[in-house]
Structure 1
């Protein structure tokens, strides 16, 4: 949908604006009642997700959008920001140690051979497991040749 075209299908279309935006000086209890009514309309809305996405992607500080009040939107923005940051910055538990994909033991990185095709530049199997796999392959070839 175009940036604003989703609003044509919104359940709040035609509803009084004060229901979603309130007024200055509104008492806490009045605000809670108003927001509950607005959220009940949002709950039935076919474009609730688009509305919430719109409000979360902008510094929309006022009103109920997509069933979220200003505090809930701020909280969701912070949660999304924390998630994005944690996904961006993955700090290894201990960069001097690594888990072998074969024996699954955690060993010092000095127990791994070099590999150009891995992210960390090390084999995924430790030297002991790599040697054992090489021996198995050699033994298989010898058995097949005889």
Structure 2
């Protein structure tokens, strides 16, 4: 496959560009909906990892590439720089749909209903499921009691 042959196999090749790139003045709720739709397209794309690798190499600062927005790509780029392994990015993982999330603690793919709303975790990578969140809170209470005793 030559450098640009993968573009012809992309799931997004016939879709509107505005699905993957924000229009000027886009508000956050609209952005979240648009990005969720774009990421759903990327989730089933046969060349998703090639797209992401190229976006990381080019240091693209705009749009959804390989299923990640610019902030998420910065996070991945830092992780790759720390470990020196791009394989962390290319590791096959179960597909996560728009109605599902992956818990950052137990790594399970669960229904989005099993997560608390977290306005800080816009990338969906730092959200813990309710079960893991409750376990962490219980542990923090135990630690606080032991510190007092």
> Same fold judged by TM-score > 0.5?
yes
The residue aligned with 2:8 is: 8
- 2: CA distance, partners of 1:55 / 1:81: 15
Distance 1:42 1:84 in 2: 25
Query: What are the within-5 Å matches in structure 2 for residues 46-85 of structure 1?
Result: 46-84=46-84
Q: CA deviation at 1:18?
A: 0.3
Structure 2 unaligned segments of length 5 or more: list them. Answer: 86-149
Residues in 1 aligned to 2:82 and 2:69: alpha-carbon distance in whole angstroms? 20
Distance across 1 between alignment mates of 2:13 and 2:4: 13
- Could you say which structure has the greater relative contact order, defined with CA pairs below 8 angstroms and 6 or more residues apart? 2
User: How far 1:24 sits from its partner (Å)?
Assistant: 1.7
Query: Which residue in the other structure is 1:130 paired with?
Result: none
TM-score of the aligned structures, taking structure 1 as reference length: 0.56
Decide which structure has greater strand share: 1
* Cα deviation digits, residues 97-124 of structure 1 (max 9, x gap): xxxxxxxxxxxxxxxxxxxxxxxxxxxx
Per-residue deviation, 1:22: 1.4
Once residues 27 and 50 of structure 1 are traced to their aligned partners in structure 2, the CA distance between those partners, rounded to angstroms, is 30
CA shift for structure 1 position 84 = 2.3
Partner Cα distance (2:54, 2:46) in 1: 14
Aligned with 1:79: secondary structure? helix
Partner of 1:35: 35
Any gaps of 5 or more consecutive residues in structure 1? 86-146
The total of aligned residue pairs comes to 85
In the alignment, the residues of structure 2 paired with residue 4 and residue 45 of structure 1 have an alpha-carbon distance, to the nearest angstrom, of: 15
